[in-house]
Amino acid sequence: MSNSYLRLSGVHRHYGEGATKVRVLDQADLVVESGELVALVAPSGAGKSTLLHLCGLLESPQEGEVEIVGNKTSKLSDRGRTQLRRNTVGYVYQFHHLLPEFTALENVTMPQLIAGKSPAEANVRAMELLDILGVAPRATHRPAELSGGEQQRVAIARAAANHPRVILADEPTGNLDPGTSDLVFAALQGLIRTEGAAALIATHNHDLAKRADRIVTIKDGKVVPHSL
């Protein structure tokens, strides 16, 4: 079985029609393997968010194919896409989006409960992830009682709660100071290795991008290698 957990083949995405048509991706190809962290570095407006949304099945291409763990998605129904996204994709945003009334532990158990796990199973998995990410001692604290870096590491744990094969992150350290960014990125990188997930991370931070397995950018609608 291939270890290409994320594959885009000949993907085309545009917005608008006629004179207002904006071509964002044009015959774009990308492959991310199990355990691989790929950094996506591109100027604002180049299509980073569009690419992440396509990889996360939040948008559909007009042409081409997006495969998640060998599943071709172009012919899937909305329900099928939602189920595949829920079961195989974890998303980390620039802002943590934790539920403020729940503890760190509860924030990480919740997606597991929604997926049908028992509370006992969910708690074990949540504590395992919080421990890997170095925030287990803060498990009973609510988001307002956590630092920015702790909040983001809890958000990463939540994204990984259901063992996603693909982890997507949109500027996951964008709101953090350099020292905290370094810590959070290292934690995310370690988790990806441990879980064997395929990760695509959009970032403006060149120092962090250089620590990825490889760097890509978007040029003329194509996903191409990038050297900083």
- Per-residue pLDDT, averaged over 193-217, amounts to 90
Q: Work out the pLDDT band at 47, boundaries 50, 70, 90.
A: confident
Task: Output the pLDDT for position 173.
Answer: 81
Residue 211 near residue 185, CB atoms below 8 Å: yes
Residue range of the domain that includes 93 = 4-225
- Per-residue pLDDT, averaged over 206-212, amounts to 89
Residues 6+ apart with CB under 8 A from 188: 92, 156, 167, 169, 172, 199, 201
Q: Work out the pLDDT band at 127, boundaries 50, 70, 90.
A: very high
Q: Work out the pLDDT band at 146, boundaries 50, 70, 90.
A: very high
Contacts 24+ apart (CB under 8 A), 144-151: 144/100, 146/104, 147/180, 148/175, 148/176, 148/177, 148/180, 149/176, 149/180, 149/183, 149/184, 150/104, 151/96, 151/98
**What does the pLDDT look like over 84-121, one tens digit per residue?**
888 899 888 777 789 999 999 999 999 899 888 999 99
Task: Output the pLDDT for position 1.
Answer: 43
Q: What is the CATH number of the domain that holds 9?
A: 3.40.50.300
**What does the pLDDT look like over 3-32, one tens digit per residue?**
789 999 999 998 888 778 888 899 999 999
Task: Give CA torsion, residues 120, 122, 128, 130, to 10 deg.
Answer: -120
Task: Output the pLDDT for position 2.
Answer: 57
* Distance of alpha carbon 6 from alpha carbon 52, whole angstroms: 11
Indicate the average pLDDT of the chain. Answer: 88
Helix extents (H) in the chain: 48-55, 78-88, 104-114, 119-132, 148-159, 178-195, 206-209
Task: Output the pLDDT for position 124.
Answer: 95
Q: Does the structure show a pLDDT above 50 at 185?
A: yes
Q: Please tell me the total count of domains within the chain.
A: 1
Q: Does the structure show a pLDDT above 80 at 73?
A: yes
Burial code (b: 16+ CB inside 10 Å, e: under 16) for 211-222 equals ebeebbbbeebe
* Distance of alpha carbon 122 from alpha carbon 143, whole angstroms: 19
Task: Output the pLDDT for position 205.
Answer: 86
DSSP readout, 41-101?
Answer: ---TTSSHHHHHHHHTTSS--SEEEEEETTEE-TT--HHHHHHHHHHHEEEE-SS----TT
- Per-residue pLDDT, averaged over 28-50, amounts to 89
Give the least confident one: 110-119, 160-169, 186-195.
186-195
